[in-house]
Amino acid sequence: MSVKKLKVGLCVLLVVIIVKLNHDSRSLAPTLLQGLTLPLGLGLRRTTRRGGGILTIHSGCRMSKWVYPSSPKVEKYGCKVHPTPGPDISQLLYIPSQLEENDTVFVPLTEVERFVNDMLDGLSTNIVVISGNWMDVEPPSNTAIYKLLTNPHVLKWFAQNLPKYGGANPFHPKIAPFPYGLLEAGTNPIFPAYKEILFGNIQNGSNKTNFIFAGPLGKHGNGKRTSIPQRELMRPRDYFLQMSKSTYVLSPDGDRPECYRHYEAIGLGTVPITELDPFFFRHLGSSGSNGPVIFGNKIWNLTVLENELDPNPFVKRSMIWEDYWMDWVDDVVGFRLHWNTFESGNGLTDFENSLLVLLD
Protein backbone atom coordinates (compact mmCIF):
# COMPACT_ATOMS: atom_id res chain seq x y z
CA MET A 1 0.00 0.00 0.00
CA SER A 2 1.35 3.37 -0.95
CA VAL A 3 1.90 6.15 1.49
CA LYS A 4 -0.57 8.22 -0.46
CA LYS A 5 -3.29 5.68 0.07
CA LEU A 6 -2.62 5.74 3.77
CA LYS A 7 -3.21 9.45 3.83
CA VAL A 8 -6.57 9.27 2.15
CA GLY A 9 -8.23 7.26 4.66
CA LEU A 10 -9.79 8.54 7.56
CA CYS A 11 -10.45 7.67 10.99
CA VAL A 12 -9.84 3.96 11.29
CA LEU A 13 -6.89 3.95 9.10
CA LEU A 14 -4.40 2.38 11.39
CA VAL A 15 -6.18 -0.92 11.30
CA VAL A 16 -5.45 -0.98 7.59
CA ILE A 17 -1.81 -1.42 8.23
CA ILE A 18 -2.31 -4.81 9.70
CA VAL A 19 -2.70 -6.57 6.41
CA LYS A 20 -2.13 -9.98 7.86
CA LEU A 21 -5.59 -11.38 7.83
CA ASN A 22 -6.99 -13.39 10.60
CA HIS A 23 -6.97 -16.82 9.10
CA ASP A 24 -9.28 -18.36 11.59
CA SER A 25 -12.14 -16.62 9.83
CA ARG A 26 -14.79 -19.19 9.21
CA SER A 27 -16.39 -19.59 5.87
CA LEU A 28 -19.84 -18.08 5.77
CA ALA A 29 -21.20 -20.71 3.49
CA PRO A 30 -22.30 -23.37 5.98
CA THR A 31 -24.28 -20.95 8.08
CA LEU A 32 -25.77 -18.83 5.34
CA LEU A 33 -29.10 -20.54 5.23
CA GLN A 34 -29.53 -20.93 8.94
CA GLY A 35 -32.95 -19.87 10.11
CA LEU A 36 -33.81 -17.89 7.03
CA THR A 37 -36.65 -18.43 4.66
CA LEU A 38 -35.45 -16.63 1.61
CA PRO A 39 -36.72 -17.18 -1.89
CA LEU A 40 -33.68 -19.06 -3.11
CA GLY A 41 -33.16 -20.85 -6.37
CA LEU A 42 -35.56 -20.49 -9.22
CA GLY A 43 -37.59 -17.37 -8.92
CA LEU A 44 -35.12 -15.53 -6.77
CA ARG A 45 -36.60 -12.10 -6.68
CA ARG A 46 -34.54 -9.08 -7.54
CA THR A 47 -32.90 -8.53 -4.24
CA THR A 48 -32.98 -4.78 -4.29
CA ARG A 49 -35.10 -2.40 -6.24
CA ARG A 50 -32.13 -1.37 -8.30
CA GLY A 51 -29.62 -4.06 -7.42
CA GLY A 52 -27.30 -1.88 -5.42
CA GLY A 53 -24.70 -2.78 -2.86
CA ILE A 54 -23.06 -1.55 0.31
CA LEU A 55 -22.45 2.18 0.65
CA THR A 56 -18.77 2.93 0.15
CA ILE A 57 -16.63 5.84 -0.95
CA HIS A 58 -17.33 4.72 -4.55
CA SER A 59 -21.12 4.64 -4.23
CA GLY A 60 -21.76 8.16 -5.52
CA CYS A 61 -20.08 7.17 -8.77
CA ARG A 62 -21.84 3.87 -9.03
CA MET A 63 -25.31 5.07 -8.14
CA SER A 64 -25.47 8.15 -10.35
CA LYS A 65 -26.62 7.65 -13.90
CA TRP A 66 -23.65 9.63 -15.27
CA VAL A 67 -20.09 10.23 -14.19
CA TYR A 68 -18.11 13.33 -15.09
CA PRO A 69 -15.28 13.74 -16.09
CA SER A 70 -15.64 11.91 -19.33
CA SER A 71 -12.07 10.71 -19.46
CA PRO A 72 -10.35 7.47 -18.54
CA LYS A 73 -9.06 9.42 -15.59
CA VAL A 74 -12.33 8.62 -13.86
CA GLU A 75 -10.50 5.83 -12.14
CA LYS A 76 -8.17 8.33 -10.60
CA TYR A 77 -11.08 10.12 -9.02
CA GLY A 78 -12.14 7.13 -7.05
CA CYS A 79 -14.92 5.80 -9.25
CA LYS A 80 -13.40 2.46 -9.89
CA VAL A 81 -12.18 -0.25 -7.59
CA HIS A 82 -9.12 -2.40 -8.11
CA PRO A 83 -8.55 -5.18 -8.87
CA THR A 84 -10.40 -5.09 -12.15
CA PRO A 85 -12.93 -6.10 -13.15
CA GLY A 86 -14.45 -3.96 -10.47
CA PRO A 87 -18.11 -3.25 -10.03
CA ASP A 88 -19.80 -1.52 -12.91
CA ILE A 89 -19.56 2.20 -13.02
CA SER A 90 -21.99 4.59 -14.55
CA GLN A 91 -21.90 5.94 -18.06
CA LEU A 92 -19.36 8.61 -18.83
CA LEU A 93 -20.65 12.06 -19.58
CA TYR A 94 -19.03 13.73 -22.59
CA ILE A 95 -21.48 16.39 -23.69
CA PRO A 96 -24.51 18.01 -22.03
CA SER A 97 -26.87 16.75 -24.75
CA GLN A 98 -26.43 13.21 -23.41
CA LEU A 99 -28.45 14.22 -20.37
CA GLU A 100 -32.15 13.59 -19.97
CA GLU A 101 -34.62 15.23 -17.66
CA ASN A 102 -34.16 14.18 -13.98
CA ASP A 103 -30.80 12.50 -14.50
CA THR A 104 -28.22 12.20 -11.72
CA VAL A 105 -24.61 13.17 -12.46
CA PHE A 106 -21.64 12.40 -10.25
CA VAL A 107 -19.05 15.18 -10.45
CA PRO A 108 -16.01 14.53 -8.23
CA LEU A 109 -15.20 17.51 -6.02
CA THR A 110 -11.97 17.98 -7.96
CA GLU A 111 -13.96 18.37 -11.20
CA VAL A 112 -16.71 20.76 -10.16
CA GLU A 113 -14.79 23.72 -11.52
CA ARG A 114 -14.34 22.08 -14.93
CA PHE A 115 -17.94 20.87 -15.02
CA VAL A 116 -19.17 24.40 -14.34
CA ASN A 117 -16.95 25.90 -17.03
CA ASP A 118 -17.43 23.27 -19.74
CA MET A 119 -20.89 21.80 -19.24
CA LEU A 120 -23.16 24.18 -17.38
CA ASP A 121 -24.04 26.55 -20.20
CA GLY A 122 -24.97 23.62 -22.43
CA LEU A 123 -27.55 22.16 -20.06
CA SER A 124 -31.06 22.00 -21.44
CA THR A 125 -32.55 19.46 -19.04
CA ASN A 126 -32.99 19.52 -15.28
CA ILE A 127 -30.45 17.42 -13.43
CA VAL A 128 -29.19 16.66 -9.93
CA VAL A 129 -25.45 16.88 -9.29
CA ILE A 130 -23.73 14.72 -6.66
CA SER A 131 -20.18 15.44 -5.52
CA GLY A 132 -17.73 13.73 -3.26
CA ASN A 133 -14.19 12.55 -3.08
CA TRP A 134 -12.42 9.77 -1.31
CA MET A 135 -9.40 11.97 -0.75
CA ASP A 136 -9.14 15.14 1.25
CA VAL A 137 -8.97 17.44 -1.79
CA GLU A 138 -9.23 21.21 -2.06
CA PRO A 139 -12.78 22.58 -2.29
CA PRO A 140 -14.13 24.07 -5.56
CA SER A 141 -14.03 27.87 -5.70
CA ASN A 142 -16.95 29.82 -4.30
CA THR A 143 -17.50 31.29 -7.76
CA ALA A 144 -17.90 27.85 -9.33
CA ILE A 145 -20.27 26.76 -6.57
CA TYR A 146 -22.28 29.94 -6.99
CA LYS A 147 -22.62 29.36 -10.75
CA LEU A 148 -23.64 25.76 -10.17
CA LEU A 149 -26.32 26.72 -7.66
CA THR A 150 -27.76 29.57 -9.67
CA ASN A 151 -28.13 27.54 -12.87
CA PRO A 152 -31.87 26.83 -13.21
CA HIS A 153 -31.19 23.36 -14.68
CA VAL A 154 -29.37 22.23 -11.54
CA LEU A 155 -32.20 21.19 -9.26
CA LYS A 156 -30.00 20.30 -6.30
CA TRP A 157 -26.35 19.80 -5.43
CA PHE A 158 -25.53 16.99 -3.01
CA ALA A 159 -22.02 17.21 -1.57
CA GLN A 160 -20.00 15.45 1.09
CA ASN A 161 -18.55 17.26 4.09
CA LEU A 162 -20.44 20.53 3.68
CA PRO A 163 -18.40 22.52 6.22
CA LYS A 164 -15.42 22.08 3.89
CA TYR A 165 -17.03 21.76 0.46
CA GLY A 166 -20.30 23.69 0.73
CA GLY A 167 -18.83 27.01 -0.43
CA ALA A 168 -19.62 30.47 0.90
CA ASN A 169 -23.16 29.55 1.85
CA PRO A 170 -23.50 25.88 2.77
CA PHE A 171 -27.03 26.72 4.01
CA HIS A 172 -28.13 27.42 0.43
CA PRO A 173 -31.52 25.76 -0.21
CA LYS A 174 -30.18 23.93 -3.26
CA ILE A 175 -27.40 22.28 -1.26
CA ALA A 176 -27.93 18.99 0.53
CA PRO A 177 -25.46 16.68 2.26
CA PHE A 178 -24.27 13.41 0.79
CA PRO A 179 -22.89 10.43 2.75
CA TYR A 180 -19.27 9.30 2.69
CA GLY A 181 -19.35 5.52 3.19
CA LEU A 182 -17.07 2.58 3.90
CA LEU A 183 -13.55 2.04 2.67
CA GLU A 184 -13.55 -0.17 -0.43
CA ALA A 185 -10.14 -0.34 -2.01
CA GLY A 186 -8.84 -3.20 -4.07
CA THR A 187 -6.98 -5.78 -2.07
CA ASN A 188 -7.27 -3.88 1.19
CA PRO A 189 -8.61 -6.43 3.70
CA ILE A 190 -10.93 -4.02 5.48
CA PHE A 191 -13.96 -4.36 3.25
CA PRO A 192 -13.93 -8.19 3.09
CA ALA A 193 -13.56 -8.30 6.88
CA TYR A 194 -16.44 -5.89 7.25
CA LYS A 195 -18.69 -7.92 4.98
CA GLU A 196 -17.91 -11.09 6.88
CA ILE A 197 -18.92 -9.55 10.20
CA LEU A 198 -21.89 -7.69 8.72
CA PHE A 199 -23.45 -10.69 7.01
CA GLY A 200 -22.71 -12.97 9.97
CA ASN A 201 -24.35 -10.44 12.22
CA ILE A 202 -27.46 -10.10 10.05
CA GLN A 203 -27.92 -13.86 10.12
CA ASN A 204 -27.17 -14.45 13.78
CA GLY A 205 -28.75 -11.29 15.09
CA SER A 206 -26.75 -8.84 17.09
CA ASN A 207 -25.82 -9.48 20.66
CA LYS A 208 -24.70 -6.31 22.33
CA THR A 209 -22.54 -7.37 25.23
CA ASN A 210 -20.49 -4.18 25.47
CA PHE A 211 -21.86 -0.67 25.93
CA ILE A 212 -19.25 1.75 24.54
CA PHE A 213 -16.37 0.67 22.33
CA ALA A 214 -13.32 2.92 22.51
CA GLY A 215 -11.35 1.42 19.64
CA PRO A 216 -8.05 2.31 18.03
CA LEU A 217 -7.88 5.81 16.50
CA GLY A 218 -5.62 7.01 13.74
CA LYS A 219 -3.45 10.08 14.02
CA HIS A 220 -5.94 12.50 12.48
CA GLY A 221 -7.78 15.07 14.50
CA ASN A 222 -5.03 17.66 15.03
CA GLY A 223 -3.94 16.33 18.36
CA LYS A 224 -7.32 16.66 20.02
CA ARG A 225 -7.61 12.90 20.07
CA THR A 226 -5.15 12.61 22.91
CA SER A 227 -8.04 13.19 25.30
CA ILE A 228 -10.16 10.47 23.73
CA PRO A 229 -9.96 6.99 25.25
CA GLN A 230 -8.63 4.46 22.74
CA ARG A 231 -6.88 1.15 22.52
CA GLU A 232 -4.07 -0.46 20.58
CA LEU A 233 -4.43 -1.46 16.94
CA MET A 234 -6.65 -4.39 16.09
CA ARG A 235 -7.00 -6.67 13.12
CA PRO A 236 -9.92 -5.59 10.93
CA ARG A 237 -12.02 -8.65 11.70
CA ASP A 238 -11.53 -8.34 15.47
CA TYR A 239 -12.22 -4.63 15.25
CA PHE A 240 -15.54 -5.07 13.43
CA LEU A 241 -16.54 -7.96 15.66
CA GLN A 242 -15.99 -5.82 18.75
CA MET A 243 -17.85 -2.94 17.13
CA SER A 244 -20.80 -5.20 16.32
CA LYS A 245 -20.99 -6.31 19.94
CA SER A 246 -21.08 -2.74 21.21
CA THR A 247 -24.09 -0.44 21.52
CA TYR A 248 -21.99 2.69 20.92
CA VAL A 249 -18.57 3.48 19.49
CA LEU A 250 -16.48 6.61 20.00
CA SER A 251 -16.25 8.08 16.51
CA PRO A 252 -14.48 11.44 16.39
CA ASP A 253 -13.87 13.32 13.11
CA GLY A 254 -11.40 11.97 10.57
CA ASP A 255 -9.25 14.18 8.36
CA ARG A 256 -12.66 15.59 7.45
CA PRO A 257 -15.73 15.31 9.70
CA GLU A 258 -17.05 12.32 7.79
CA CYS A 259 -15.24 9.04 8.11
CA TYR A 260 -15.61 5.35 7.40
CA ARG A 261 -16.15 4.55 11.04
CA HIS A 262 -19.52 6.32 11.25
CA TYR A 263 -20.86 4.07 8.48
CA GLU A 264 -19.15 0.89 9.65
CA ALA A 265 -20.87 1.40 12.98
CA ILE A 266 -24.35 2.11 11.61
CA GLY A 267 -24.28 -1.02 9.44
CA LEU A 268 -23.43 -3.12 12.48
CA GLY A 269 -26.24 -1.60 14.54
CA THR A 270 -23.83 0.47 16.63
CA VAL A 271 -24.38 4.16 17.31
CA PRO A 272 -21.34 6.30 16.44
CA ILE A 273 -20.71 9.05 18.98
CA THR A 274 -19.56 11.80 16.63
CA GLU A 275 -18.53 15.44 16.56
CA LEU A 276 -20.68 16.00 13.46
CA ASP A 277 -22.79 19.10 13.10
CA PRO A 278 -26.46 18.07 13.09
CA PHE A 279 -27.37 20.40 10.22
CA PHE A 280 -24.52 19.76 7.81
CA PHE A 281 -24.77 16.01 8.42
CA ARG A 282 -28.56 15.83 8.65
CA HIS A 283 -28.58 12.87 6.26
CA LEU A 284 -27.58 10.75 9.26
CA GLY A 285 -30.64 11.63 11.30
CA SER A 286 -32.12 14.60 13.03
CA SER A 287 -30.62 15.83 16.24
CA GLY A 288 -32.52 14.91 19.35
CA SER A 289 -33.61 11.55 18.04
CA ASN A 290 -32.23 8.28 19.38
CA GLY A 291 -29.60 7.72 16.81
CA PRO A 292 -28.49 6.34 14.57
CA VAL A 293 -25.90 8.98 15.36
CA ILE A 294 -24.93 11.11 18.34
CA PHE A 295 -24.09 14.55 16.95
CA GLY A 296 -21.74 17.22 18.28
CA ASN A 297 -20.27 15.20 21.11
CA LYS A 298 -17.70 16.94 23.29
CA ILE A 299 -17.55 14.54 26.20
CA TRP A 300 -15.23 11.57 25.87
CA ASN A 301 -15.25 10.41 29.46
CA LEU A 302 -16.69 6.90 29.31
CA THR A 303 -18.20 7.02 32.80
CA VAL A 304 -20.06 10.21 32.02
CA LEU A 305 -21.22 8.87 28.65
CA GLU A 306 -22.39 5.60 30.16
CA ASN A 307 -24.65 7.50 32.54
CA GLU A 308 -26.11 9.72 29.85
CA LEU A 309 -26.68 7.51 26.85
CA ASP A 310 -29.90 5.72 25.96
CA PRO A 311 -29.28 2.02 26.74
CA ASN A 312 -31.45 0.85 23.80
CA PRO A 313 -31.03 3.21 20.87
CA PHE A 314 -32.56 2.50 17.48
CA VAL A 315 -30.08 2.31 14.61
CA LYS A 316 -31.27 2.60 11.04
CA ARG A 317 -28.94 -0.07 9.70
CA SER A 318 -30.31 0.15 6.16
CA MET A 319 -28.21 3.31 5.84
CA ILE A 320 -25.39 0.93 4.93
CA TRP A 321 -27.24 0.17 1.72
CA GLU A 322 -26.82 2.13 -1.52
CA ASP A 323 -30.53 1.78 -2.24
CA TYR A 324 -31.36 3.62 0.96
CA TRP A 325 -29.43 6.64 -0.31
CA MET A 326 -30.98 6.66 -3.77
CA ASP A 327 -34.38 6.73 -2.08
CA TRP A 328 -33.18 9.39 0.33
CA VAL A 329 -31.96 11.66 -2.46
CA ASP A 330 -35.26 11.13 -4.31
CA ASP A 331 -37.10 12.17 -1.15
CA VAL A 332 -35.01 15.30 -0.71
CA VAL A 333 -35.60 16.30 -4.34
CA GLY A 334 -39.27 15.37 -4.13
CA PHE A 335 -39.57 12.91 -6.99
CA ARG A 336 -37.88 9.90 -8.54
CA LEU A 337 -34.61 10.58 -10.32
CA HIS A 338 -32.82 8.47 -12.89
CA TRP A 339 -30.06 6.36 -11.39
CA ASN A 340 -27.62 3.82 -12.69
CA THR A 341 -29.39 0.48 -12.93
CA PHE A 342 -26.30 -1.67 -12.43
CA GLU A 343 -26.85 -4.97 -10.68
CA SER A 344 -23.46 -5.77 -9.27
CA GLY A 345 -22.75 -3.15 -6.67
CA ASN A 346 -19.63 -4.19 -4.69
CA GLY A 347 -19.85 -7.55 -6.46
CA LEU A 348 -22.21 -8.87 -3.80
CA THR A 349 -23.86 -12.22 -4.34
CA ASP A 350 -27.62 -12.41 -4.71
CA PHE A 351 -27.72 -13.98 -1.28
CA GLU A 352 -25.73 -11.16 0.29
CA ASN A 353 -27.97 -8.64 -1.41
CA SER A 354 -31.02 -10.41 -0.03
CA LEU A 355 -29.54 -10.17 3.46
CA LEU A 356 -29.20 -6.40 3.09
CA VAL A 357 -32.93 -6.22 2.45
CA LEU A 358 -33.47 -7.57 5.97
CA LEU A 359 -31.89 -4.55 7.63
CA ASP A 360 -34.15 -2.14 9.53
Ligand X SMILES: *[C@@H]1O[C@H](CO)[C@@H](O)[C@H](O)[C@H]1NC(C)=O
Rule CB under 6 A: which residues touch ligand X?
Answer: 26, 28, 31, 100-102, 200, 203-204, 207, 209, 301, 303-304, 335
Q: Distance between the two ends of the chain, CA-based, in angstroms?
A: 36
Which residue is nearest to ligand X, using beta carbons? 200
Closer by beta carbon to ligand X, 163 or else 229? 229
Count other C-beta atoms under 10 Å from residue 76's C-beta: 12
Quote the least distance from Cβ 31 to ligand X, whole Å.
4
Instruction: Go through the chain and tell me how many residues it has.
Output: 360
Quote the least distance from Cβ 339 to ligand X, whole Å.
12
Closer by beta carbon to ligand X, 142 or else 204? 204
Quote the least distance from Cβ 197 to ligand X, whole Å.
8
- Burial of 138 per CB tally in 10 Å (0-12, 13-18, 19+): exposed
CB crowding 318-329: b at 16 or more within 10 Å, else e = bbbbbbbbbbbb
336-121-58 Cα angle (round to 5): 50
Closer by beta carbon to ligand X, 2 or else 307? 307
Quote the least distance from Cβ 50 to ligand X, whole Å.
15
Three-class secondary structure of residue 200 per DSSP: helix
Quote the least distance from Cβ 203 to ligand X, whole Å.
5
Strand order across the 271-273 sheet: 210-213, 246-250, 271-273
Closer by beta carbon to ligand X, 4 or else 23? 23
Closer by beta carbon to ligand X, 109 or else 356? 356
Q: In this structure, are residues 247 and 211 in contact, taking their beta carbons and an 8 Å threshold?
A: yes
Closer by beta carbon to ligand X, 19 or else 299? 299
| Gap between the Cα atoms of 142 and 295, Å rounded | 27
Quote the least distance from Cβ 104 to ligand X, whole Å.
11
